Amino acid sequence: MYVAMNRFKVNIGSEEAFEAVWKGRDSTLSEMKGFKTFHLLRGATNEAEGYTLYASHTVWASYEDFSAWTKSEQFRAAHRNAGNNKPLYMGPPQFEGFVAVEGA
């Protein structure tokens, strides 16, 4: 199993717009080999630094399946207009990938 996450620091006041982008997207993830599940997670708000933390979270059967997604036309289509949403968050998303430790 492979878990892929992107963390976003969403500007305070932009949370609803950010969530609407995700809710309104035309996802083709379910068509991809090895895709298991997707979740958008909302974390704590950091008032001092001016953001609410979010993470997009996908689970895949394997790293190879995730890697194939990142090289697919579906991936390019899903991220084609991502730059239009830059005003909603601070800096680029931070990627983190995890391979499950079997038997743990």
User: What's the Rg (C-alpha) of the chain?
Assistant: 15
Give the burial class of 71: count Cβ atoms within 10 A of its Cβ; 0-12 exposed, 13-18 middle, 19 or more buried.
exposed
Of 78, 84, 67, 79, which is closest to residue 33 (Cα–Cα)?
67
Confidence of residue 83 (pLDDT cuts 50, 70, 90): low
Cα(38)–Cα(44) distance, rounded to whole angstroms? 20
Of 56, 50, 47, which is closest to residue 7 (Cα–Cα)?
56
Residue 84: the pLDDT is 72
Look over the chain and give the mean of its residue pLDDT values, rounded to a whole number.
Answer: 91
> What's the one-letter identity of residue 73?
E
Q: In this predicted model, what pLDDT tens digit does every residue of 46-72 receive, in sequence order?
A: 999 999 999 999 999 999 999 999 999
Residue 49: the pLDDT is 97
- Cα atoms found within 13 Å of the Cα of residue 44, Cβ hemisphere only: 4
